[in-house]
Amino acid sequence: MSGRVAVIGAGPCGLSQLQAFESARRGGARIPEIVCFEKQTSAGGLWNYDWRTGTDAYGEPIHAGMYRYLWSNGPKECLEFADYTFAHHFGQPIPSFPPRPVLADYVLGRAKAFGLRRYIETNTVVRQVSFDQDAGSFAVTVRNRDKDEQRTEHFSHVIVASGHFSVPNIPHYEGIESFPGRVMHGHDFREAREFKGRHVLVVGGSYSAEDIALQCHKYGAASVTISYRSAAMGFHWPDTVDERALLASIDGAEVSFSDGSAKEFDAIIFCTGYLHHFPFLDDELRLRTGNRLYPADLYKGIFWRANPKLMYLGMQDQFYTFSMFDLQAWYARDVVMGRIGLPDGAAMDADMAAWSKREEALPDPIAQIDFQTDYCKDLHELVDYPHFDLQLLADNFKEWEHDKEHDILTYRDKAFRSACTGVLSPVHHTTWLEALDDSREAYLACG
């Protein structure tokens, strides 16, 4: 078929998109020309460990903010590719909460097995995307950093898969310029041992705050205080970890909190989330949203309402990750290839309004899990992505939530059942708290 599709980013979402087209091609379909631009030197997105912080060798902002000793914070069964299972990739059953190198190996393993590399131009940053109304196509300007060359190409469709957890949101607090210790955002956190014996303040009340606090505890911080804005996470923290209301001001090393308490710290780590930031998109194409389950202006959570030839993948707040990205990618592919038609504007608006209204009324994480499960089911209904048991995944997520409430230090020691194979994973040979080596080899070694 005719058409040219630009995919921006070869992280998990971009790779899902390439996989969707490649699977159609292998099924005998004629697919459009696909070009995926990736600014890093290899695919993998955030799952690439980067020792650098700040800017890279070419002066571009560092994308990846994963740190040493990062383990999956959700069961791997909840992100398993239905067309490429963990059992298939590793040739052996593996436990439910792998460390970063193991998941990176899995994501890149599927890409290698399906030959996706040939669609990707690495070390190539997208600088500008504009839509030409007269031509009905997008002009995409890229810079190949190997060659130090800029060029503009034209595409019928653009799929934005550049992620939304790489540009840190960094608030200002009165007196912070007087703080004598280390101040950083979680995006620049790499090595928990840096904080051994230190008193650490973590600001934020979500996954990064939770995990970076636990990392610091695990690797020997003297104490960790988590300061939240909206609500305490309320887990049963170890004795050296506590939660307090939001910080109010800073005077030298002493931090005052809005509950009237104060404490001295050696370091402050902002785990205050990320910005949806698309400096390469023209204003009229640019998604503006916070981190939510149903971002506005995206029909089916994918299609830019004002111009559905522009698509976004993975822009939601995420319980589901890789499996949801696959479903989005399959759906986007089928619209691009004319297998699925888009309804008229009024029908799109009505559909988006119904999802948004439901999102606004969600009372708790259990309802949020059901919401994102239903969103995935809605996508799955129309595409030929292999069957997997989404209801089992929803149950897995709910069990995981309960495990965390029961004991935040042991939830990663649990085992879950695959929604693709039905097989229950083995329990890992070492508990998460005692496992200090996060290498692939150590993880896959038999107990």
Ligand X SMILES: Cc1cc2nc3c(=O)[nH]c(=O)nc-3n(C[C@H](O)[C@H](O)[C@H](O)COP(=O)(O)OP(=O)(O)OC[C@H]3O[C@@H](n4cnc5c(N)ncnc54)[C@H](O)[C@@H]3O)c2cc1C
- The helix-helix angle for 12-26 and 100-113 (nearest 10°) equals 30
Cβ 9 to ligand NAP shortest distance, Å = 16
- Please answer whether residues 75 and 416 qualify as being in contact, where contact means their C-beta atoms are separated by less than 8 angstroms: yes
Q: Taking Cα atoms as reference points, which of 209, 371, 169 lies closest to residue 290?
A: 169
Out of ligand NAP, ligand X, none, what residue 63 binds, judged by CB under 5 to 8 A for its kind, is ligand X
39 near ligand X (CB under 6 A): yes
Q: Which amino acid does the sequence have at 185?
A: H
Q: Which residue lies nearer to ligand X by CB, 63 or 380?
A: 63
Q: Which residue lies nearer to ligand NAP by CB, 72 or 289?
A: 72
Out of ligand NAP, ligand X, none, what residue 171 binds, judged by CB under 5 to 8 A for its kind, is ligand NAP
161 near ligand X (CB under 6 A): yes
Encoded one letter per residue, x for contact with ligand X by CB under 6 A and - for no contact, window 78-97 reads -x------------------
- Please answer whether residues 32 and 60 qualify as being in contact, where contact means their C-beta atoms are separated by less than 8 angstroms: no
Strand order in the sheet with 182-185: 182-185, 267-270, 199-203, 223-227, 241-244
| 406 CB-near residues (< 8 Å, 6+ apart) | 236
**What proportions of the chain, in percent to the nearest 5, are helix, strand and coil?**
30, 20, 50
Cβ 67 to ligand X shortest distance, Å = 7
Q: What is the rounded distance in angstroms from the CA atom of residue 173 to the CA atom of residue 250?
A: 7
Q: Which string of DSSP letters, residue by residue, matches 82-106?
A: TTB-HHHHHSS---SS-BHHHHHHH
Encoded one letter per residue, x for contact with ligand X by CB under 6 A and - for no contact, window 242-261 reads --------------------
Q: How far, CA to CA in Å, does 282 sit from each of 65, 136, 139, 312, 336?
A: 26, 15, 11, 14, 21
Among 163, 273, 301, 308, binds ligand X (CB under 6 A): 163
Which residues contribute to the site for ligand NAP (CB under 6 A)? 70, 72-73, 165, 169, 171, 186, 203-209, 211, 229-230, 246, 271-273, 291, 318
Q: What is the rounded distance in angstroms from the CA atom of residue 387 to the CA atom of residue 33?
A: 27
Q: Which residue lies nearer to ligand X by CB, 82 or 255?
A: 82
Q: Which residue lies nearer to ligand NAP by CB, 12 or 308?
A: 12
Nearest residue to ligand X, by Cβ distance, number only: 11
Out of ligand X, ligand NAP, none, what residue 161 binds, judged by CB under 5 to 8 A for its kind, is ligand X
Q: Which amino acid does the sequence have at 412?
A: R
Q: Catalogue the long-range contacts made by 50-59 (C-beta closer than 8 Å, 24 or more residues apart).
A: 51/190, 53/187, 53/188, 53/190, 54/188, 58/145
Cβ 131 to ligand X shortest distance, Å = 17
- Please answer whether residues 163 and 278 qualify as being in contact, where contact means their C-beta atoms are separated by less than 8 angstroms: no
Among 73, 223, 256, 356, binds ligand X (CB under 6 A): 73
301 near ligand X (CB under 6 A): no
Q: What is the rounded distance in angstroms from the CA atom of residue 330 to the CA atom of residue 341?
A: 14
Out of ligand NAP, ligand X, none, what residue 11 binds, judged by CB under 5 to 8 A for its kind, is ligand X
Cβ 273 to ligand NAP shortest distance, Å = 3
Number of C-beta neighbours around residue 64 at 10 A: 21
CB-hemisphere CA count at 13 Å for 389?
Answer: 14
168 near ligand X (CB under 6 A): no
Among 7, 34, 74, 301, binds ligand X (CB under 6 A): 74
Cβ 53 to ligand X shortest distance, Å = 13
Cβ 188 to ligand NAP shortest distance, Å = 12
Cβ 207 to ligand NAP shortest distance, Å = 3
Q: Which residue lies nearer to ligand NAP by CB, 271 or 376?
A: 271
321 near ligand X (CB under 6 A): yes
Q: What is the rounded distance in angstroms from the CA atom of residue 418 to the CA atom of residue 75?
A: 10
Among 22, 38, 80, 317, binds ligand X (CB under 6 A): 38
* Binding piece for ligand X, criterion CB under 6 A, among 158-166, 283-291, 363-371, 398-406: 158-166
**What residues line the site for ligand X (CB under 6 A)?**
8-14, 37-40, 45-47, 63, 65-66, 72-74, 79, 125-126, 161-163, 165-166, 280, 314, 318, 321
